[in-house]
Structure 1
Amino acid sequence: MPRSSVPPLASHAPPLGALLRQYAAGSALTCDPVDQGLLNRGYRLATTRGHYFLKHHFDPETADPAAIARQHRATQRLADLGVPVAPPLPGRDGRTVAVVGGHAYALHPWIDGRHRHGGQLSTGQCGRLGALLGVVHASLERVMPTRGRVSGDRGEGGREDAGQDRAAPQDLTTGKERAAGREGAAARELPAGAGRGEDTGRGRAAGQGDPGGGARQTEAGRGETGRGGEPRDPGGADHLRDATRRSGTTGRGRAAAPAGASAKPLAPTAPPRPADTHHRPPHPYTPAGQPQSRPTGSNGLADPPHTPSADPADTFALIDDLLAHVRRHRPTDAFDELARHRLLERRALLEQHADRRPPPGGSVGWVHGDFHPFNLLYKGDSPAAIVDWDRLGVQPRAEEAVRAAAIFFVRPAGTLDLPKVRAYACAYRRTAGATPSELGAAVHRVWWERLNDFWMLRWHYERGDTRADSQFPAASALAVWWTREYDAVCEAFVD
């Protein structure tokens, strides 16, 4: 279960009066919190005009209004290509981000839909899922800037900054509302920073009145029904349908195994040490010890971020810290016992495989950044909308494909459904134009990432946040199983 699927710590009433004045969405009737992610808040809003999903961009790392507006424009461009997304609704002033009381909000039509884990998908549907992610990566390459800026950078210039929102959205709070809002701001803050590797989301449904004309995308959560708005062409454009129909139906040529599939790759000479990450858990889908990548130089996509992989020396120190936390916890419970077992087990595995640390690398490109079951809504058997684009950025694309598969296709016992992984990966390679060797190298890097990853334990022991505890048994078992079945996992992605 991904991180974004855990229940919220506390609810927060959005400033509906100030917000709805910015939209032709009618008057509020009800506003109910949606089971939400750890990083943002969502509400099902019923008005006299219809049903909407109201998203509060709460995570400090992704709450910059200008960055949110650029992400919104990216989803609109993807929708124009027929990718199943649901872009946000513009307000009366044409902007898609409303800032009230220093907080950023966006309004989306509600999308009826449900989230589906890999266990609920047929092998053919797994192929269509891989094809969909490949289409997303290929389409982002078409609509995002190839030079200069990444989503989230401030300033103008490049295709991403064209159009509306040249000025930062204004804070729409009145003086009276602003004073009242400051009173409880501190109490509303969730702890900043999240772990990485297993995140989830939420859902929505179609409203009647479209306050700005156009459909919309939004953040995923858990539950059976979705959110957002009726996306354009829920099944995708013709090229998307063609690609997904082809997935898994053609013969596979056997690809060369990646370095490390049968033999351990040599560790790089004197690899650079990542910044210390022991004091604040990283974000769910950011590899351990790695900041979000940004392009550099004249051509961002031509200059990889060269972020180092996790240093086992740092991981050994973290394991010692976490073991100390476990020893101090009283009374000892079943979670403590499992945590201690997994920490000792992981330390032994790292000692055995420390020479397999991968070098920085991977072909980078624009990625969704948080692709997992709770950020994808299905209507029937077809994907209806990919939601929650907060982590849109430049990263190794194949790693996103591998990371997503490790979430979609993990079983409760901590194993991967390799036949489904094979169908998914084959279709992804075809639609994304990725090579088997590229996927094989990504498998190695994500395996190493998982071997060094303890975000769930850090949340539990360092922050006293137990919302992700239910994910720990399967996620911690997966790292062990993956190490044992390394060759079989590689073959599933490259064959």
Structure 2
Amino acid sequence: MPGDMLEVSLAAEIAAGFGLGTVLSWQRIPQGLMNANWRMTTGTGRYAVKQLRDRPPATVREVHRVLPQLAMKDIPVPLPCSTEQGDTLLGINNEWYCASGWMPGAHLNGHDLPMDACAELGAVCGRLHTALAAVLPEAPDRLPDCPTSTGEAQVRLEHYAQAAGRRAGDRFDDLARREIQQRQILLNRVADRQPSGGEVGPAGWTHGDLQPLNILVDPSATRVNAILDWDRLDVRGYAAEIVRTATIWFTDTGTGALDLERIAAFIRGYRARRSISDAQLVDAAHRRWWDLVTGTWQLHRHYEQQDRGCDYLFFSDGQLLRWWFDHSDTVNEALTASTLPH
């Protein structure tokens, strides 16, 4: 059966399984790094459909049970559809699918947001952390953190340098070798900056991946319309999630530079909803930077799993970590600013 006929057949089976009516249109969504996604229009409405590739079904079902509780706390989340048997997942040919009502909005980048929208995004993150704490079991306030050692990181980088070296002439491998070499040099310079092990906090339930592809924004009002993709719901440090979110949203993808003014607005918005100290934010920033310096997960996906979907992140992370190294003091000032920097 031709590929397009397979797609039509799959769409009809998913619509029937979730009781969504006759399929009128079925379109793959190109955005997204881990899962396959489609937009389906039927006689009963528009729906988002996802094929699970990155999390086991049991984990996703647990997450689906939380979403209606968050909606009752005024957190904008997509509500999962259910089969006649009450399952929020549908198995077809050894693959799992879920569906939810289509949420309006656009995936914007941080530079598209005016200052008040940056603050609103931070406030939504604060409300989210409070809502998660209210609807989920009590979480530990502190968590152990064991940063990757310089030696361990060097071993991993050398392993992937050798893997890239075996395929000279491939563009990714050529670029990867240069990036790996830069990271090895940087690691030698900053070996004494490895964060200490031990416990970090405050901790609690977090989304885990509040990046632009998982946030839908109303382009006219710059209001958050939906928080998507809850597969990484887990207990983490609050400051870690806030710093990671800020540095993903407000990085110039061309230069690696952080928009410190927007980061300051984002943090102020969060602090308007939840308390978090300067020391906790600075510590989380240092640990986030160290994760970038020592991180090789994109290389693992490329060389061990033959998954090229995250290749570009290895190089954008490299730009960010080097810019951050040169501007660490001003980054910390933005994270702890009570007013916008001038």
TM-score over 0.5 (shorter chain): yes
- CA offset at residue 17 of structure 1? 4.8
1:309 matched to 2:150: no
Cα distance in 2, alignment partners of residues 363 and 12 from structure 1:
49
- CA offset at residue 450 of structure 1? 0.7
Cα distance in 1, alignment partners of residues 287 and 26 from structure 2:
43
Q: 1:330-377 deviations in whole A, cap 9, x for unaligned?
A: 2264x4454333322222221222222222423211000111000000
1:367 matched to 2:209: no
Corresponding residue for residue 134 of structure 1:
126
Q: CA 1:36 to 1:328, structure 2 compared with 1: closer, same or farther past 3 Å?
A: same
Secondary structure at 2:190's aligned position in 1?
A: helix
Corresponding residue for residue 58 of structure 1:
53
1:110 matched to 2:105: no
Cα distance in 1, alignment partners of residues 5 and 318 from structure 2:
30
Q: 1:3-33 deviations in whole A, cap 9, x for unaligned?
A: xxxxxxx997474454333433212233222
Q: 1:397-416 deviations in whole A, cap 9, x for unaligned?
A: 21111111111011020110
Cα distance in 2, alignment partners of residues 460 and 16 from structure 1:
30
Residue identity opposite 1:406 in structure 2: T
440-449 or 103-112, which moves further after superposition? 103-112
- Figure out how many residues of one structure are paired with residues of the other and give that number: 328
Corresponding residue for residue 41 of structure 1:
36
Cα distance in 2, alignment partners of residues 12 and 399 from structure 1:
42
- CA offset at residue 86 of structure 1? 1.9
Corresponding residue for residue 490 of structure 1:
332
Counting only pairs closer than 5 Å after superposition, residues 231-250 of structure 1 correspond to structure 2 as none
> Structure 1 stretches (4+) deviating beyond 6 angstroms?
none
Secondary structure at 1:306's aligned position in 2?
A: strand
Q: CA RMSD in A?
A: 2.4
Cα distance in 2, alignment partners of residues 352 and 12 from structure 1:
54
Corresponding residue for residue 180 of structure 2:
343
Cα distance in 2, alignment partners of residues 88 and 397 from structure 1:
26
Secondary structure at 1:390's aligned position in 2?
A: coil
Cα distance in 2, alignment partners of residues 53 and 445 from structure 1:
35
Corresponding residue for residue 478 of structure 1:
320
Residue identity opposite 1:424 in structure 2: F
Cα distance in 2, alignment partners of residues 474 and 386 from structure 1:
24
Cα distance in 1, alignment partners of residues 229 and 140 from structure 2:
23
- CA offset at residue 36 of structure 1? 4.2
Q: Share of identical aligned residues, percent?
A: 31
- CA offset at residue 104 of structure 1? 2.6
Q: CA 1:132 to 1:313, structure 2 compared with 1: closer, same or farther past 3 Å?
A: same
- Kept in 2: contact 1:11–1:33 (CA 8 A): no
Corresponding residue for residue 270 of structure 2:
428
- CA offset at residue 127 of structure 1? 1.1
Of 155, 165, 171, the match for 1:327:
165
Cα distance in 2, alignment partners of residues 492 and 129 from structure 1:
16
Residue identity opposite 2:263 in structure 1: V
Residue identity opposite 1:396 in structure 2: G
Counting only pairs closer than 5 Å after superposition, residues 5-24 of structure 1 correspond to structure 2 as 13=7, 15-24=10-19
Corresponding residue for residue 193 of structure 2:
356
- CA offset at residue 480 of structure 1? 1.0
- Kept in 2: contact 1:114–1:377 (CA 8 A): yes
Secondary structure at 1:141's aligned position in 2?
A: helix
Corresponding residue for residue 175 of structure 1:
none
Q: Give the TM-score normalised by structure 2.
A: 0.88
Corresponding residue for residue 454 of structure 1:
296
- Kept in 1: contact 2:206–2:235 (CA 8 A): yes
- Kept in 1: contact 2:40–2:48 (CA 8 A): yes
Cα distance in 1, alignment partners of residues 94 and 306 from structure 2:
27
Residue identity opposite 1:475 in structure 2: D
Residue identity opposite 1:329 in structure 2: R
Cα distance in 2, alignment partners of residues 368 and 12 from structure 1:
34
Of 217, 220, 223, the match for 1:378:
217
- Kept in 2: contact 1:414–1:473 (CA 8 A): no
Select the structure that is richer in helix: 2
Q: Determine which structure has greater relative contact order: mean sequence separation of CA pairs < 8 Å that are 6+ residues apart, divided by chain length.
A: 1
Residue identity opposite 1:324 in structure 2: Q
Secondary structure at 2:25's aligned position in 1?
A: strand
Q: Which runs of 5+ in 2 are unaligned?
A: 338-342
Cα distance in 2, alignment partners of residues 336 and 24 from structure 1:
47
Counting only pairs closer than 5 Å after superposition, residues 268-307 of structure 1 correspond to structure 2 as 300-302=139-141, 304-307=142-145
Of 255, 270, 287, the match for 1:445:
287
- CA offset at residue 462 of structure 1? 4.4
Of 219, 235, 238, the match for 1:394:
235
Q: CA 1:11 to 1:433, structure 2 compared with 1: closer, same or farther past 3 Å?
A: farther
- CA offset at residue 457 of structure 1? 3.5
Residue identity opposite 2:95 in structure 1: H
Residue identity opposite 2:321 in structure 1: A
Q: CA 1:16 to 1:337, structure 2 compared with 1: closer, same or farther past 3 Å?
A: closer
Cα distance in 2, alignment partners of residues 145 and 12 from structure 1:
42
Residue identity opposite 2:46 in structure 1: H
Cα distance in 2, alignment partners of residues 465 and 94 from structure 1:
33
- Kept in 1: contact 2:179–2:315 (CA 8 A): no
- CA offset at residue 423 of structure 1? 0.9
Residue identity opposite 1:313 in structure 2: G
- CA offset at residue 464 of structure 1? 4.5
Secondary structure at 1:87's aligned position in 2?
A: coil
Cα distance in 2, alignment partners of residues 400 and 331 from structure 1:
38
